[in-house]
């Protein structure tokens, strides 16, 4: 059983930065970890993902260049550094993890992830 705990959300003004953290516990090998977000009235969408072995990263087009996903394997923690935040980035941000191998492109599909955190709110004001 994998437990994911997010932290680091908050309220910032447009142009500001936040760093989200997702700490994983459970002692199980995780293949892929990702961040998703969901704004009120909208579907959950992927933000970024990272494969824990090798460190390959993937980003949604909407955040490319502004957001960086990284990991600290020693701490079993994944980070989401968000810069140049925009009001459109306002959402609940969720950490997700999957143990099994994922087919090409699956990193962006929420239903491919088995484990989810409770979420952390990010609010960006104009």
pLDDT tens over the chain, length 126 residues: 899 999 999 999 999 999 999 999 987 889 999 999 999 999 999 999 999 988 999 999 999 999 999 999 888 999 999 999 999 999 999 999 999 999 889 999 999 999 999 999 999 999
Query: And the tokens for 55?
Result: 């460190």
Residues 74, 90: Cα–Cα separation, whole Å: 30
Could you tell me whether strands 120-125 and 10-13 are parallel, antiparallel, or unpaired per DSSP bridges?
Answer: parallel
* Distance set, CA 118 to CA 55, 93, 115 (Å): 24, 9, 10
């Amino acid at each position: 059983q994998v437990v994911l705990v997010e932290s680091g959300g908050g309220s910032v003004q447009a142009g500001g930065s936040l760093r989200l953290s997702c700490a994983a516990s459970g002692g199980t090998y995780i293949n892929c970890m990702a961040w998703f977000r969901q704004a009120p009235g909208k579907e959950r969408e992927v933000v970024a993902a990272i494969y824990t072995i090798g460190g390959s990263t993937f980003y949604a087009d909407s955040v490319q260049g502004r957001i960086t996903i990284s990991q600290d394997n020693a701490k079993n923690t994944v980070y989401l550094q968000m810069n140049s935040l925009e009001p459109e980035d306002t959402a609940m941000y969720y950490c997700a993890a999957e143990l099994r191998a994922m087919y090409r492109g699956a990193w962006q599909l929420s239903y491919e992830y088995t484990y989810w955190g409770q979420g952390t709110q990010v609010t960006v004001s104009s």
